[in-house]
A and B are shown apart, each in its own frame.
Chain A
Amino acid sequence: MKQILILGAGTAGTMMANHLNRLLPKGWQVTVADPENQHLYQPGLLFLPFGARDEHKIVKSRAHTLKRGVTWLQKAVETVDHEHKTVIMKDGHRETYDILIIASGSHIQPDMTPGMTEDEWYHSIFDFYSLAGARALRDKLADFQEGRLVVNVVEMPIKCPVAPLEFLFLADDYFRKQGRRDRVEIVFVTPLDAAFTKPVAAKVLGNSLLDRGIRLETEFMTGEIDPAKKQLLSYDERGIDFDLLVTVPTHTGADFVEASDIGDELAFIPTDRHTLAAREMEDVFVVGDATDLPSSKAGSVAHFQAELLTENLLRKIRGEELEPSFDGHSNCFVETGDGKAMLIDFNYNVEPVPGRFPYAFGPFSLMRESRMNHWAKLAFRPTYWHALLPGRRLPISAQMSTSGKQLEFLAAVTE
């Protein structure tokens, strides 16, 4: 038996395992290693701080998400020895492979910012990128009567780069509905030079922040936090006071990437932009947040990559050339509060622009707020569990289409 070994059974690893389980020719088997018992639907974390009580709907047992036929090793990877095509687990177990897929995602590292996880951690400093953080923040927001709420991104890249903006929009809406908005000042502190990196979207989203009275502090490289003074400090010695800090800490790839010396400075793995082959390792592929690609670290990207990588692996097994098929396609619903959302759709070459997005039960409006987009965002959770993870095809192309997009907006900013 030949073996495809997948490291990590999150969004990307689970989809890959289930696709391959169905499509691999005889003589091949799929094994996935992941130490965690539960699979978390991470987009659900955004709504917990604002009172959502549906935690049971955003976690499922791992065994439930992997199809029969896939072997699950409930083990944590310690190192990858790609020269010997062997993965060494934390318990000493060794697993060999013919093809390796690294799908170990990215995670937050609050300890990398001095002062973040000291006395004020989960008292006046919170994250919402973990279940514990989102839950603790829910209680804090319910009690927060007045003062300055600072939302901060420490450094790029982060997963779901629109999530901090969504958090701001939802916070504005939340305090408005509670009748406390006039007593809560909201400030967004970002290392970027605008609300978002892609210029057209940055303008639209930046204006949406202004309209809601949210102040924007740009090019702020967080150096440390002074928990006693409740102050965020930048490397260029600016200080921002907060009463409540909601931070998106530095992200890195998995620990074994660093330990195996196969990643970059943040433990993301050098990956071919179009085929997803690891650039410096033979018979190794990388999918989802674990790559060093300039595409978004998002579930939608993991979904498109998993479909295209499955096709490429089947080609490889048949002895054919890989297709450079991945175009950087990303598709994100952005919650804007008050039961509305925007949709952005883009790839490596075409940044998000307004327009219409053709879909089975659409069209959806791109980069404009609508209720339909909000419902689609909520409907995504059942779609994730029942269609995406099991590896069913959704009626959305893995490659970006320009149909419906108002590309003249691109000319307007590049001029």
Chain B
Amino acid sequence: MTQAVYAGSMVELDAEGFMTRADAWSRPVGEAISQELNISLTPEHWRLIDFAREDFSIKNTSPGLRRISKYTKTGMKDIYRLFPKGPGKLIARIAGLPKPKSCL
């Protein structure tokens, strides 16, 4: 467990950089995390991040890629264009959510 300051707030991160408390998140925090990941957020990015936040608030788990793709009506290729290299994890990190679990 480490701590980091994003947009002036102190947040706790797990070993892989995911925030441990979704309620400590704000849009400026998300913005700051995305800069660290070298992604500049556009409204297209935000649509996916907002869906992930909303879905988490209902289901209490981070949505997987296919779920994000289906409910935001965004093709997988477009999701990869917006968040190259592991969009599932990147979206969760920027949205202040836990690492998406692959089901066993």
Contacts and interface: CB of A to CB of B under 8 A. Distances in A.
B84 A198 contact: no
Contacts of B84: 236
A235 B77 contact: yes
- Give the interface size class of chain B: 10 to 19
A44 interface: no
Contacts of B85: 236
B1 to A, nearest CB: 11
13 contacts: A156-B104, A157-B102, A157-B103, A157-B104, A219-B86, A221-B65, A221-B76, A223-B77, A265-B66, A265-B70, A266-B66, A294-B61, A296-B104
Contacts of A294: 61, 101, 103-104
B55 to A, nearest CB: 11
A264 B102 contact: no
Contacts of A161: 104
A223 B65 CA distance: 12
Interface of B: 61, 64-67, 69-71, 76-77, 79-80, 84-86, 101-104
A159 to B, nearest CB: 11
B104 A197 contact: yes
Nearest to A296: B104
Given A219-B86, A223-B76, A235-B77, A191 B70 contact: no
A198 B86 contact: no
B71 A265 contact: yes
B63 to A, nearest CB: 9
Contacts of A330: 104
A25 B28 CA distance: 60
Interface in A182-222: 191-192, 197-198, 219, 221
B62 to A, nearest CB: 12
A117 interface: no
Contact of A265 (B67, B77, B101): B67
Closest 5 CB pairs of A and B: A157-B103, A156-B102, A265-B70, A235-B80, A265-B67
B36 to A, nearest CB: 20
Contacts of B101: 197, 294
Give the interface centre of B65, B69, B70, B102 by most chain A CB atoms within 10 Å: B102
Contacts of B80: 235-236
Nearest to B16: A193
Interface string A211-243: 000000001010100000000000110000000
A295 B65 CA distance: 19
A399 B77 CA distance: 42
A147 to B, nearest CB: 29
A191 B104 contact: no
A295 B76 contact: no
A120 interface: no
A380 B103 CA distance: 25
A9 to B, nearest CB: 24
A155 interface: yes
Nearest to B76: A235
B76 A191 contact: no
Contacts of B64: 156
Contacts of A266: 66
A89 to B, nearest CB: 28
B79 to A, nearest CB: 8
A191 B102 contact: yes
Interface in A286-308: 293-297
Nearest to A237: B80
Contact of B102 (A192, A235, A293): A192
Contact of A198 (B65, B69, B104): B104
B86 A155 contact: no
Contacts of A264: 67
A155 B66 contact: yes
A157 B103 CA distance: 5
Given A265-B69, A294-B103, 9 more contacts: A156-B64, A157-B103, A192-B102, A236-B85, A264-B67, A265-B66, A265-B70, A294-B104, A330-B104
Nearest to B85: A236
A192 B104 CA distance: 11
Contacts of A223: 76-77
A156 B103 contact: yes
A212 to B, nearest CB: 23
A197 B102 contact: yes
